[in-house]
Amino acid sequence: MKAHIAVLAGDGIGPEVTAQAVCCLQVIARQHGHDFQFEAAPVGGIAIDTTGVPLPKPTLDLVQRCDALLFGAIGTPKYADPNLKVRPEQGILQLRQALGLYANLRPVICYPSVADASPLKAELLVGVDILVIRELTGGIYFGEKTRTPTSASDLCTYTVPEVERIVRLGATLARTRRGKLTSVDKANVLETSRLWRAVTQQIMRDEFPDVTVEHMYIDAAAMHLLRRPADFDVIITENMFGDILTDEASMLPGSLGLCPSASLGASTLGMYEPIHGSAPDIAGLGIANPYATILSAAMLLRHSLGLETEARALEAAVVKALDDGVRTADLKPRGAAATTQEAGAAVVARL
Ligand code: IPM
Ligand code: MN
């Protein structure tokens, strides 16, 4: 097949890790007879430097013409002050909104060969394979914000359709996995959570009687995620809870560098990015872990291009590289670690 892929590498380690993912996609294309065209554009701090805004119009236009978006990371120390009017993060939020990417899939898988890299006890990590689905275009992130000299407010709103589409996606995916859905909310305190829970209960009862559903408060979920992570299958939750819970969950595999993501909407145009940030402290050193971005590229093959076989081949090649001990510094605090380029090449060699 022919596919046009936008590459928005962004700031910090973004260009280094996306370069390795592009190499892998090129090899996949060659092996399976596809024609992938890659086109780069600026986003984030680098875009502010050159155009004054974090998401320049030509960048958004390019993405809208493409079949999928491979994204690196954004943020630089130069724009770290949260009081700045123009900030790199706005680029990512504007992309999510402009493309209608309402569902953020964040798989959290513990690979046995790197269990020692996790701060958690290895016995807790056996069989951990969680898919967190974070609502991505609603809630407190996108509600009205106000500020006076003595107060501030962020409005959190959810509508029934916004919740319904997440529940349906979560339950549909749970059916293809272990058949269990955990809906995380704060229904004992928040009205938006009471709506979330009511909608979830109704959809699950009416449309997915074969999927087991449980409801959990966010505070309890944060605890159970560390105490018994293997009990979770698919988790659905609202925007900010999902943001926090997935950074916590990333410690199960042992590194943010192993956690990919897909942001999906109503069409097949999706955005694929590692959940880690731009890591300015190691940018340019060539030591960043490219596996999360490569695994994100596998999700791109699966969700935007419908290439399941190719997606699995790429995921299997990453697992093989890990099994063979090819570890970047985040997974190997002592001794000689693989460089970003070596880790990418190791995946290519195993394809
Ligand atoms: C993420 C990030 C973003 C978020 C930031 C950069 C706006 O933390 O993708 O998880 O909070 O959604
Ligand atoms: Mn986050």
Q: Among all residues, which ones are annotated catalytic?
A: 141, 186, 219, 243, 247
Q: Which residue owns the Cα nearest ligand 1 atom 6?
A: 89
Cα–ligand 1 centroid distance for 201 (angstroms): 28
Residues 84/21, Cβ–Cβ less than 8 Å? no
pLDDT in tens, 146-167: 999 999 999 999 999 999 999 9
337 forms beta bridges with: none
Residue 90 is classified by DSSP as H
5 forms beta bridges with: 38, 68
DSSP, collapsed to helix, strand or coil, labels residue 298 as helix
Domain ranges of the chain: 1-102+261-351, 129-251
Q: Give yes or no for residue 252 having a pLDDT over 90.
A: yes
Q: Give yes or no for residue 196 having a pLDDT over 90.
A: yes
Q: Which residue owns the Cα nearest ligand 1 atom 12?
A: 243
**The CATH number of domain 129-251 is 3.40.50.11400:** no
Cα–ligand 2 centroid distance for 244 (angstroms): 6
Q: Using alpha carbons only, what angle is made at residue 95 by residues 79 and 28, rounded to the nearest 5 degrees?
A: 105
CA-nearest of 49, 17, 14 to 347 is 17
Which structure tokens are listed for 254?
Answer: 């042992």
DSSP, collapsed to helix, strand or coil, labels residue 316 as helix
Q: Which ligand is nearest to the CA of 106?
A: 1
**Does the reported pTM lie above 0.95?**
yes
CB of 11 sitting under 6 A from ligand 1? no
Residues 253/118, Cβ–Cβ less than 8 Å? yes
DSSP, collapsed to helix, strand or coil, labels residue 180 as strand
pLDDT in tens, 315-347: 999 999 999 999 999 998 788 999 999 999 999
Cα 305 to its chain centre, rounded Å, is 17
Which structure tokens are listed for 332?
Answer: 């190997």
CATH label, 1-102+261-351, candidates 3.30.2130.10, 3.40.50.2300, 3.40.718.10, 3.40.50.1820: 3.40.718.10
CB of 259 sitting under 6 A from ligand 1? no
Residues 264/284, Cβ–Cβ less than 8 Å? no
Q: Which residue owns the Cα nearest ligand 1 atom 5?
A: 89
Cα–ligand 1 centroid distance for 58 (angstroms): 23
Kindly give the pairing relationship between strand 103-109 and strand 260-264: antiparallel
CB of 135 sitting under 6 A from ligand 1? no
